[in-house]
A and B are shown apart, each in its own frame.
Chain A
Amino acid sequence: MAKTSTIRWLALGAALALGAPLGAPAAQAQQPPIKLGELNSYAQWAAFTVPYRNGWQLAVEEINAKGGVLGRKLEIVSRDDGATTGSATRVADELVTREGVSLLFGSFLSNVGVAMADYANQKKIVYIAAEPLTDAVTMAQGNRYTYRIRPNNFMQVGMLVDQAKASGAKRWAIVAPNYEYGQSAAAVFKRLIQERVPGAQIVAEQYPALGKIEAGATASAIEQAKPDGIFNVLFGPDLTQFVREGNTRGLFEDATVLSLLTGEPEWLLPLKDEVPEGWTVTGYPWDEITEPKHKAFVDAYRAKYNDTPRLGSLLGYMVVTMIRDTIERAGSVESEALIKALEDAKFDTVAGPVTMRGLDNQSTMGAWVGKLVLKGASGGMTDWTYKDGASFMPTEAEVKAVRKD
């Protein structure tokens, strides 16, 4: 029949074209490798995810050079998650059922993270959210299979709002991308600013669709409300456009600006010399961190890739080393053993000591908070401090009120 022969022909062609260069399998190790599943938006959000991939690849190489984990090599099966919830769970299913991976980690967008959390719960497999920051992943949609390394929106916004108290700004404007991450960050900000800064009010809110900002119109709509403080959640191409328009129009001149993630090199470097100086941001001043462990990571990274690390690089490296520690302590790759090993587990990471809080599976990794400044031809952070996440986490009562498990 035409149908089967065509399919077979295509399959053969594709297999020849793609399979051949991979070469014959190397000599089999004594034990099969431990397979971990990884998925991220490598095409859509390359600015973050490519350095992130470099980071975890570096970690895997180092671990395997030292003999792997439990005497077995680590093998990471990586896929593009397509940056949508449906596509990500589909890819995850492929990783679990076809590749037989022991756990999943990765994803970038918050809505994808929420869907992955639901998937992990359904299939009872450990999922470590690398980047998704929305509170939902560890709060309302949290479950015993889903873990997060980075400080969530509640923690990062909390750090920023503390900085805002001193400025005296009361009239706040919010600009955030209109999807899970932006909505979650805006909601937390509204709550915290009113709790912690008496008399504060929100005078303008703009929610452009992700990747589709009309920057000029948005900037002047905010300007019209005459805020003395601006809370920004934009990142990526939206951010560069907004900063350019805002700079030209003098939007930021008399305002205190709090901005999530803008100090991270992946979003800061594209701004080049148009860095909005004086913004209070969370970020990653990689070149000024002096801890020897971190320095060693930076040196290894630069030597291998001939490029400077981004926050994604650090995160990718951290996630895999933490997974290694977990598997070592668990002594196996069974989900229940991993969950047991992760409960209130302490890790000594490149970013400092981190605890995986058992209450909500949120790690105590902190963030670097400081002000943006122009250093030569590009931006950097100044007056920064590393805020340990432990003191900014939601309280036990808050967690228990929203978590369903």
Chain B
Amino acid sequence: MDPAFLAVQALSGLSSASSLFITACGLTIVFGVTRIVNFAHGSLYMIGAYTAATLVPRLLELSFGPATFWAGILASALIVGLIGVLIEVLLLRRIYGAPELFQLLATFGVVLVVQDLVVQVFGPQDILGPRAPGLRAPVEILGRRFPSYELVLIAAGPVVLGLVWLLLRKTRFGVLVRAATQDRDMVASLGVNQAMLFTGTLFLGAFLAGLGGALQIPRVSANTGMDLSIIAEAFVVTVVGGMGSVPGAFLAALIIGQLQAFGILIFPKSTLVVVFLLMAVVLAVRPYGFFGRAEVIGGTHAVGIASHKRMPRGTLAAWIAIAALACLPLVGDAYLLKVATEILIFALFAFSLQLLIGVGGLVSFGHAAFFGLGAYGAALAVKWYGASMEAALPLGLCLAALGAALIGAFVVRLSGIYLAMMTLAAAQILYAVAFQWVEVTGGDNGIVGVWPSGWASGPVPYYLLTLAVTVVAVFLLRRIIDAPFGYALRAARDSEARAEAIGLKVRQHRWLAFVISGAAAGLAGGIYAFSRGSVDPSLLGISTSVDALTMLLLGGIQTVTGPLVGAGVLHFLRDLIMPLTPFWRLLLGLSIIAMVLIFPRGLVGTIRYWREERA
């Protein structure tokens, strides 16, 4: 291949890398200090782009020359920074005491709210921003034309890196940020005003997200899909670089930029999978990314099911609930039964996640992988082997368990946020396979015609089947949680070192937990496939994983019944709100935020807490 082409391709990669770095850098700083996995970072990026695309043309009309363009970009970034402060003061500050995953859930609520607000504020049409004055014309590089603005972007990355480095090394604020990144509790003990520090950090992070978005306007039109398209990549960059490490993020962005630029030459359909493959490979070799440090001993996610007295008359209540559910077909119409079937499926799905998170302390961001494997396993068995439902469901379960065994083998070597991100990578790789391997999986059309056997078809029989399967599976999982195996997992969650010291094989136990949890999720996925009659890649997508997490967290990770209640409430809410208004994202987001604020331990957890307080 001729060198000019390679040079231009490399430069394209560099400019993408620069944009990605500026955004991801904010995410990594925020995580380093606050330990919040900020899903709303992509939304801030999107707001930055929309603000700049609207603001900069107005400023240019004042004709003060090219400087106004850059002033407009900075002003937009500042505005986004202030929005970040707003989010911190109004929302995040109130839940620092809650389990960390809860903060993630709150930021996810913000994502939903912003999606609707952006359309309301800026209108439905994509907004193409102006080009930078003086940088419209291309430059010649080895006889090929290359956009001059991209050269500016290439320079912007290192400039931001330098400025952030100066800020972190040479200012008091920077010293505090670095100190907090290393040991938050110690910083607090030394009398540092944490509220100010966190607000400042959120401002900086949001400012960088806004800057990243605003700098995009000469290349990309501001559009409503920007938030989700950047957030996954920004996560990858921060994780590969090492959470909290700014230079690591820079290096990771560089590598990803080049991989994408050259990846599309070798395998044009690789754009989806290449970043997550990189993350999986890097984490397999270096468990803390390039420059990340092992997390402080004592674990940051050590919240979950504790040993407690059994509820008086708990068994009786369970039997009454099951009996009531079994009687539902007597009163409910077909649609209600369908909703109830879905709630049961999601309850099982969320409950399987409980075994990992609540019991094992293993936060999985990619639990959709197993749900999707179960669904695809069943659907593929029907499509390619003409299997009946009775044969397809166990096949789906086996495929999910196998996938969990394989993924688990890589994942259990990691811990904390890296573990979570490895599961996300696994799910995304599977998503890409389902999406791109059109011949087998049908691509994004999915597989249709996955209907249950005659005896189970129709809303009532299928509902009863789902109820039976869910009850049995939940009962078995419950037994596992209360068995010595469950106690061993809890011990490893609370203190890995002590668990090992008394002879527990921590990794082996965790791996087994993955297999069991994956199998249960796969069973849920299989039933789901037959209830809908089709599967598609979104079952493996991030939103499905987030759904499971949301249900679990809403219900409460410290309780056994939490995920079951959470699944019911979330699905019920969504079903109630969606038909009522076109602004269902806004309302659902606000409901999630409200529930996070009112029930910081989850619904069941908080209610139990209140009861214990009263007692």
Contact = CB atoms under 8 A, between A and B. Distances in A.
Contact of B147 (A99, A245, A266): A245
A272 interface: yes
Given A43-B115, A44-B225, A80-B584, A179 B268 contact: no
Nearest to B528: A86
A214 interface: yes
Given A224-B1, A270-B125, 6 more contacts: A14-B591, A77-B579, A93-B335, A122-B533, A211-B223, A249-B138
A248 B138 contact: yes
Nearest to A251: B145
A78 B578 CA distance: 10
A41 to B, nearest CB: 10
A236 B126 contact: yes
Contacts of B416: none
B539 A86 contact: yes
B532 interface: yes
Interface string A327-346: 00000000000000000000
A112 to B, nearest CB: 9
Categorize the interface residue count of chain B.
35 or more
A115 B442 CA distance: 12
A209 B218 CA distance: 21
A401 interface: no
A19 interface: yes
A299 interface: no
A114 B442 CA distance: 11
Given A114-B445, A211-B229, A217 B264 contact: yes
A162 to B, nearest CB: 28
A7 B568 contact: yes
Contact of B116 (A43, A85, A271): A43
Categorize the interface residue count of chain A.
35 or more
Given A43-B119, A85-B536, A240 B569 contact: no
Contact of B119 (A14, A46, A136): A46
B449 interface: yes
A98 interface: yes
A240 B221 contact: yes
A85 B444 contact: yes
Interface in B532-589: 532-536, 538-539, 561, 565, 568-569, 572-573, 575-582, 584-585, 587
Contact of B260 (A136, A214, A248, A272): A214
A207 B445 contact: no
A2 B125 contact: no
B532 A240 contact: no
A15 B335 CA distance: 19
A49 B119 CA distance: 12
Interface in B60-75: none
Interface in B280-332: 317, 321
Contacts of A237: 126, 220-221, 223, 225-226
B116 A87 contact: no
B192 interface: no
A272 B265 CA distance: 31
Contact of B219 (A6, A93, A183, A245): A245
Pairs of residues from A and B, 7 with the lowest C-beta to C-beta distance, nearest first: A46-B124, A216-B12, A50-B124, A237-B223, A240-B221, A248-B147, A97-B335
